[in-house]
Structure 1
């Protein structure tokens, strides 16, 4: 990062977290499009001959699920599946074949948390074939679509689904279709020689016990990968700002990543503090800001990778990752959000000077200005090459509705973002070609403040039949 004051603030946050959380090793990174990456490490790798550096590898656990989710969405975009397909349409499964791809991605299919067997006792995971053949031994612990229930088994099945449709192994396709195109060269299936040792840190002393490394076999699509903070911050930036991190859409179209980020469920029915999209955790912040990404946990390791979206001062491509070598230091999963907030607070994006731009097309100039619908005022404007609408009393950083004309139909526009996304805006013109009325989501939009009977609010009540004023 170029801002040395900001770097010092970040470093102090990380040092405090490592000390208070008693994490043997922490590796942290911030990515943004307008700065060089900021990477910092503190502690001891525990690996003799391989001291802690930015290239030290940590287990990222369930962040792996976000890669599996992207593979599944790639299959959808390529026409290999539909998100509402039951898995039995594509995989030979002995049970639970009615579970849909979408429900598995959002953890609402009701699958039990882990594959059949006590794999965290035996530390022996089923292989790829066994994940599927043993589905009849796994429970559907909740009815389909009842509520959120986190499931490693569900993502293991999704990984085998993507591998089956692509004709390779999950490890092969995640390397070929994501890691390679995005240049995430430090992200690997297995630990390299420079891997950190993961620990269980004693609650009542300063002792730390190394945890065993576990190969997840057929459950790899849920939690197998190892990586660096630098790679994972870049991944968080991709999940939040794909058009910046992957402008050519080599991995996934930006619109598809938008779809993944839309909340499919809350994670707790009475405490709406986080949600789950299609393979992504959504953490609401203040003032229309969200952090999107995932946390990870494996024996001896905790990890987080998130990107920040929305709000004033957010630089394009802002992502952060925190990887730690303690399996119980929850501070690892907390400071990623603090760092993303700090990045905007103390080193916000540069303010782009306003410059005059070409006027709105002649066909849309008569729309500009205030209109009313359902008695409420909306202001229509032309910015950044598109027609927009917003409520006048909302803050400037609240996203407007944005419209795009349908092909060959300039008087019929689709709402592509914001309020009433997906709905049509239909224009009605007078003989001179000026727009005199609109219909948005079928509601009448007029220049005057009209009631549903077409009368102006300023005229007061309609006269009663037979009254003097009505004669």
Structure 2
């Protein structure tokens, strides 16, 4: 499944055209990615008197943060940093060094959102030594780890972390380790032709004001990059799971896990490790929004469905909040993905013998053998502690998710030992080693 059908393409184009016209956007480009390939792409408006093309560059703002975060996770996987390291361990010239690398990645460090400089997005940037001098203890607004508080300054520090540990500018490391391997050769720090000019649209007249564009220098890891539709589509495929060897699938999945939620009561938006998260219409999406003066951009990916969606526009504000959700909704309405065909497979007889009904005390659970060779343990009636497990070399099983994530399952013919909890074939089976002893049922 690659290119969308003509009727679907028409419906998608109409939604984009409505956005451009009603929101008065100088130009906008959008795309849908399916199974790692662009399935639909379109542009509206004008760039230099012509419609934007898949090669036209737009500034992608804070999507830059996700690219930097991937480089940080590569450092972690190489053993050069630990996510629990305080940033001061690697940047000793910081004056607020107790925040950890994980907290900086997830915007829970408590650091101020913006640097104590002139409006950094619209003025020439300052060098890192100057920024570190300006950002003192007074710029810590919350206890580290207490809450989600978006911090551009935090990602400036992560860029400096990459620079110092790699011995090169952060952008050079990102180019060599992320952009080049993914084939994103149209993603650059400064614009190159063909590129859109950033505009502010007058709120009460159809008049444009060009927005300034500068090198953010120390703050550049927070939002410097420009990209094209083609490149951002490759990034969407990456976030959806096509890592191209840049990261292990396990590390990318870790980045997509919620580290903090922004609306705890509803949990519709949150943040992982350098990736924004949102839930919509049954989908769990990962990606990032981007905003710089004159530009807006967003990319979302659904790893479960191997689909991504993105837009880039050269306007400071004014777009609706529903464009990408609507595009995904049109795709789901017109071309819902067919489920994979079920096919029988083999099974180790010893594992097959473990499947079926088990009891945690009086509560029935079902143990199933998964197609990938793992196990799934879940309450028969739902609503309890369910987890998946993968086999380990020593014969035990490691919990992957749910309550038992990271815990060890040991399986014997007559009982399961799950982190001291004993599951038996019969409720409180007296023949099994149930802690506390078992009396006869009466």
Identify whether the pair has TM-score above 0.5, normalized to the shorter chain: yes
- Distance, in Å, in 2 between the alignment partners of 1:454 and 1:4 is 68
**Superposed, which structure 2 residues align to 1:15-26 within 5 Å?**
15-26=17-28
- The number of aligned residues is 434
Specify the structure having the higher radius of gyration (Cα): 1
**Superposed, which structure 2 residues align to 1:181-200 within 5 Å?**
181-200=181-200
Task: State yes or no: 1:253 paired with 2:248.
Answer: yes
Task: State yes or no: 1:300 paired with 2:297.
Answer: no
- Distance, in Å, in 1 between the alignment partners of 2:64 and 2:265 is 28
CA shift in 2, pair 1:83/1:392, >3 Å: same
- Distance, in Å, in 2 between the alignment partners of 1:300 and 1:34 is 29
Deviation (angstroms), 1:209: 1.7
**Superposed, which structure 2 residues align to 1:147-158 within 5 Å?**
147-158=147-158
Q: Is the 8 A contact 1:414 1:425 kept in 2?
A: yes
Q: Is the 8 A contact 1:230 1:321 kept in 2?
A: no
Stretches of structure 1 lacking an aligned partner (at least 5 in a row): 429-434, 463-471
1:446 is matched with: 424
Deviation (angstroms), 1:56: 1.0
- Distance, in Å, in 1 between the alignment partners of 2:134 and 2:296 is 29
1:219 is matched with: 219
CA shift in 2, pair 1:366/1:121, >3 Å: closer
Deviation (angstroms), 1:290: 0.8
Provide Cα deviations, 1:13-64, integer angstroms capped at 9, x if missing partner.
211221222111110011111764321101112x35x652221111100011
**Superposed, which structure 2 residues align to 1:301-340 within 5 Å?**
301-310=295-304, 314=305, 316=306, 318-331=307-320, 333-340=321-328
1:405 is matched with: 391
Deviation (angstroms), 1:183: 0.7
Deviation (angstroms), 1:448: 2.2
> TM-score, normalized by length of structure 2?
0.91
Equivalent residue of 1:154, what SS? Answer: helix
**Superposed, which structure 2 residues align to 1:424-439 within 5 Å?**
424-428=408-412, 435-439=413-417
1:173 is matched with: 173
CA shift in 2, pair 1:382/1:274, >3 Å: same
Equivalent residue of 1:141, what SS? Answer: coil
Provide Cα deviations, 1:357-396, integer angstroms capped at 9, x if missing partner.
11x212212211122224332222223133323344559x
**Superposed, which structure 2 residues align to 1:52-63 within 5 Å?**
52-63=52-63
Deviation (angstroms), 1:425: 1.4
Stretches of structure 2 lacking an aligned partner (at least 5 in a row): none
Q: Is the 8 A contact 1:111 1:142 kept in 2?
A: yes
Equivalent residue of 2:411, what SS? Answer: strand
Q: Is the 8 A contact 2:107 2:149 kept in 1?
A: yes
1:64 is matched with: 64
Provide Cα deviations, 1:196-253, integer angstroms capped at 9, x if missing partner.
1121112222222221122211111000000112321321231232xxx125xx2111
Task: State yes or no: 1:278 paired with 2:255.
Answer: no
Structural RMSD (CA): 2.6
- Distance, in Å, in 2 between the alignment partners of 1:122 and 1:449 is 67
- Distance, in Å, in 2 between the alignment partners of 1:142 and 1:446 is 47
2:118 is matched with: 118
Deviation (angstroms), 1:5: 2.3
